Amino acid sequence: MIARSFPAAVAAPVLGLGLAACTSEVAGQANPSTQVSATNSTTADPADPFAGMSPCTILDQAFTGQNLPRAEPAVADPQHSCRIAKPTSGDTPGVVVGLILQAGSDYKNNVNNPAKASDGNVNGRPAIEEQEPLHAKGQCAIRFKVGSSRALLSVSFGGDTTGACKKVEEFAEKVEPLLPKNN
């Protein structure tokens, strides 16, 4: 669970940031970006704490044995973002989990819904939990500090913001140990 320094805000996933986008517009029509294999990793850059890492591999490792489908690269920025989508089944709401590795982006910058964000930590790592970052019910996100970069874990959970935040906190405990250590 994320430890907070002030009252908790329920977080919303920022899945829209990395899960749906187009490359360019030609003659008024958007051309979808191409998807990359889940085994692709980020480009090797010594300043990039995520160099050689795949967000899909991190998600698959974190959720081994959790009855979730394998992670797939997101449409937008597939080398740095990945998602797992489990559809609604009977009375069980669907869940979408996204992970974006953003080298060179401070975890405190670009908080989309600051009124619903709180500082804290996950396993001692500085983090921010944000409910409804895209101003939509059922979303929650945690931004992890990774050196001078960030990893963004987000969850959409059947229109239930409180449930999404409980899920993202639970999932953050599994993802955080797989991220590079802060120096």
pLDDT in tens, 12-68: 333 333 333 333 333 333 333 333 333 344 445 667 999 999 999 999 999 998 888
Residue numbers of the domain that contains 105: 7-21+31-178
Residue 16 lies in a domain: yes
Residue 2 lies in a domain: no
Residue 120 lies in a domain: yes
Residue 1 lies in a domain: no
For CA atoms 37, 155, 138, 130, give the dihedral sign. negative
pLDDT at 90: 79
Residue 183 lies in a domain: no
Work out the pLDDT band at 183, boundaries 50, 70, 90: low
User: Is 20 within 8 Å of 156 (Cβ atoms)?
Assistant: no
pLDDT at 68: 85
Strand partners, 131: 140
pLDDT at 116: 93
Instruction: Domain count for the chain, please give it.
Output: 1
In this prediction the pTM is: 0.74
Residue 110 lies in a domain: yes
CA distance 35 to 57: 16
Burial class (CB in 10 A: 0-12, 13-18, 19+), 132: buried
Query: Cα-atom radius of gyration of the chain, to the nearest Å?
Result: 16
Residue 26 lies in a domain: no
Residue 121 lies in a domain: yes
136-182 tens-digit pLDDT: 899 999 999 999 999 999 999 888 899 999 999 999 999 999 999 98
